[in-house]
Amino acid sequence: MNAKFFDLKQEKQDRMVNAALKIFALNGYQHASTDDIVREAHISKGLLFHYFDSKIGVYSFVYDYAVRYITLELSSAVDPSETSYFEVLKQMEAAKMQVLKSYPFMIMFVHSCAEERITEAILATEASRKTLKSNIDTILDVTDRTFLDSKKNAQDLLKMLSYTIHGTMVSSLKEDSFNAEMNYKEAVKYIGITEKAIK
């Protein structure tokens, strides 16, 4: 992590992180511009490059930042003794809601990184992507997922659930109508529908 960046006031840190998250999430690494990031953050390009030496430096920093922040919220929201898969999904959505209150484009950015095709960007985030996957796997590994063996279409339903929740969030972000609490309520509703369909 970039130690000197954290000497900035929190408001300016958040402005810069949010700007980078938004520009990278909406455009992908290749088409994202540092000019757009500084414009969105209302800072000079010189200030951005005072803390980050390149576009890939900004990209890898905000990805590492996202993984740490998401992991922190997951550790607060998810009960490690809960074994109901769907209840844990709801708790994970509660963690996501807290993330999105401060960083609206953070989850969309993380999803976009998983689909990134530019080698430089893939390599820069490889370790953190593995860390995030491991953290999520650890949470889900304690849950009862025997229904995946008994219902052959359960996996497809869960994939559809993931696409639906993510798609709803992305649509509202792009339409500038996003609300973290409403997004959470929608996600919980879809989780409930999927749980009933599987059981």
Q: Is residue 194 part of a domain?
A: yes
User: The pTM is what?
Assistant: 0.92
Q: Would you say residue 1 has pLDDT above 70? A: no
DSSP states of 80-145: TT--BHHHHHHHHHHHHHHHHHH-TTHHHHHHHHHT---HHHHHHHHHHHHHHHHHHHHHHHTSB-
41: in domain: no
Nearest to 61 by CA among 9, 118, 113, 99: 113
Checking if the pLDDT of 70 tops 70, the result is: yes
**Overall domain count for the chain:** 1
pLDDT value at 197 more than 80: yes
Is 119 part of a structural domain of the chain? yes
Judge contact between 35 and 48, C-beta under 8 A.
no
Q: What is the C-alpha separation between 93 and 138, in angstroms, rounded?
A: 16
CA distance 171 to 177: 9
113 within domain boundaries: yes
CA-to-CA distance for 37 and 23, rounded, in angstroms? 6
> Residue 131 has what pLDDT?
97
Residues in the chain: 199
pLDDT, tens digit, 9 for 90 and up, residues 131-163: 999 999 999 999 999 888 776 678 888 899 999
53 within a domain of the structure (yes/no): no
Range of 77's domain?
60-198
